[in-house]
């Protein structure tokens, strides 16, 4: 072992621990004068191994995710305009729509302004009440088609489609 301040050799069988400027360090006898000597932490007499069935089951129950677990539907890009136009075409107020799908007016407002993205459950409620389509099927993408010929590796830049206005 070495002193954490000067680098001199410290006996391993009896290291000196000193608190110097708020930090406990292993130091040599000379450097221990710079701080307050600390008691060595007590060594445990035995180590208790407590492996319960619950902890073992948690390790075994971890779900391995695959590409089949990925969502097959995606919310359309301009869902806020579609919801607003459909509601207005039925001559419903936001309050009316909220009552029909059992949601607050503030939720409807945030969806229509695009400040909130509805979850799948709420999206299906909106589709049913307004008779519109907000979820679109997404195809499985073969990532091998995006392999860069130069490096032979997939990168985020090769896979992502950038939408520009």
Ranges of CATH 1.10.260.40 domains, the chain = 73-137
Average pLDDT over residues 114-134: 92
* Interval 2-28: pLDDT, tens: 888 888 888 888 788 888 888 888 888
Tokens 């009896």 correspond to 14
pTM over 0.75: no
Domain 73-137 in CATH 1.10.260.40? yes
Asked whether 141 and 98 are in contact (CB, 8 A), the reply is no
* Interval 64-102: pLDDT, tens: 555 555 667 888 889 999 999 999 999 999 999 999 999
Distance CA 165, CA 156 (A): 21
Helix (H) or strand (E) run with residue 39 in it: none
Alpha-helix runs per DSSP H in the chain: 53-60, 79-89, 94-101, 105-113, 120-130, 156-159
């Amino acid at each position: 072992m070495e002193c954490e301040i000067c680098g001199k050799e410290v006996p391993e069988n009896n290291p000196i621990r000193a608190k110097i400027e708020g930090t406990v360090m292993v130091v040599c006898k000379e450097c221990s004068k710079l701080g307050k000597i600390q008691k060595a932490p007590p060594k445990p007499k035995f180590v208790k191994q407590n492996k319960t069935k619950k902890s073992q089951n948690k390790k075994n129950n971890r779900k391995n995710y695959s590409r089949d677990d990925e969502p097959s539907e995606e919310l359309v890009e301009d869902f806020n305009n579609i919801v607003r136009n459909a509601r207005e075409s039925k001559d419903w107020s936001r309050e009316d729509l909220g009552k029909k799908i059992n949601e607050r007016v503030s939720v409807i407002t945030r969806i229509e302004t695009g400040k909130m993205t509805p979850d799948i459950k709420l999206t299906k409620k909106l589709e049913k009440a307004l008779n519109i389509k907000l979820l679109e099927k997404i195809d499985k993408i073969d990532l091998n088609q995006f392999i860069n010929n130069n490096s032979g590796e997939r990168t985020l830049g090769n896979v992502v489609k950038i939408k520009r206005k």
